[in-house]
Structure 1
Amino acid sequence: MKTIIAAALILGAASAAAGAAEPPKVVGTWKSNGDMAAARFGKGPFFDPAKPTLYKDENVISYRIELQQGRAFAGVVVGSGGKEAALAGVFQADGRSFIFSDAFGSGFGSVADGVIELCWTDSLPDYVSAACGSFKPVPAP
């Protein structure tokens, strides 16, 4: 009986390890392809709308991923005027979906066909926002 249980545990662990997909390499700069929508209000780190404001098709945010080890990655989000904020994220076991956090809030996304699609929220004392966008890699010089 103990042998059967041990064998089942070993097979289960092997199956779980085999099920983890390799995440795509995301190191580099990712710029908005213009497919973005956002709602913002208050004085924020990158924006300062005086009233609740809705945006569509922006190109003002980019991401620079500087380090990746397996499923974990880190870098900066770059806003208007070149302002930067630290970013950390991790891919889920499917190797496609991820979560991330930055100095202002957090979000989630996925990578498919060379495009990052992500949504995020910012929640600061004087500023709130929600946004979703698509980002493509900038070719290395």
Structure 2
Amino acid sequence: MRRAGVATVMMLGLLGPAHAADVPNIVGLWTPVEHAGSNLSITPMDDMRLRVDTPHFANRPGTEAWSVRIDTQNDRAFGGAVVSKGGKEQVLLGTFRSDGKRVVYATDFSSGDGEVNADSMELCWIDSIPNYIATACTTYVRAKPAQTTAPAGK
């Protein structure tokens, strides 16, 4: 009987609370280096007589994708913005999964997931708004801080 009690205690110890992995600090500007996606404008449901547009597919350099700026991070939770080439911003909120690498996030009208590895991250999202659907994945690298030059000696 005593053996059963010891075995039970040992099993409960193995089933104890799981601890989340350490998460990297991702605060800063992330610039796109690669982008692939698809999008489609669709007919409103109340007028299905109209033709649906042809899907558009893109595999292009990251220079055409939006940047990601992470302004704040509190352990696994983070927030910032996705920023268009023209400076338009959408709010971005995200959370690391317990493995400390995978993330889920949401913007003003998108949501998705991704993975962070050292100084690179891939974010994939889905847009599903009236008359438009899209999917895409973009790979980002952490932007290097601007080099500052020391003032000349006196």
Taking structure 2 as the reference length, the TM-score comes to: 0.74
Deviation at 1:82, TM superposition (A): 1.3
User: Distance between the aligned counterparts of 1:70 and 1:9, measured in 2?
Assistant: 28
- Counting matched residue pairs gives 131
Percent identity, please.
Answer: 35
Are 1:13 and 2:16 counterparts? yes
Flag the structure with larger Rg: 2
Taking structure 1 as the reference length, the TM-score comes to: 0.80
Equivalent residue, structure 1, for 2:79: 74
Kept after mapping to 1: 8 A contact 2:24/2:118: no
Among 52, 56, 76, the residue aligned to 1:53: 56
Q: 5+ unaligned residues in a row in structure 1: which ranges?
A: 44-49
Deviation at 1:127, TM superposition (A): 1.7
Deviation at 1:108, TM superposition (A): 0.6
Deviation at 1:126, TM superposition (A): 2.3
Distance 1:51 1:78, change over 3 A: farther
Q: 5+ unaligned residues in a row in structure 2: which ranges?
A: 43-52, 147-154
Q: Cα deviation per residue 1:75-101 (whole Å; 9 max; x = unaligned)? A: 101123111100111001100011111
SS in 1 for 2:86: helix
Deviation at 1:140, TM superposition (A): 2.1
* 1:85-96 superposed matches below 5 A: 85-96=90-101
SS in 2 for 1:134: strand
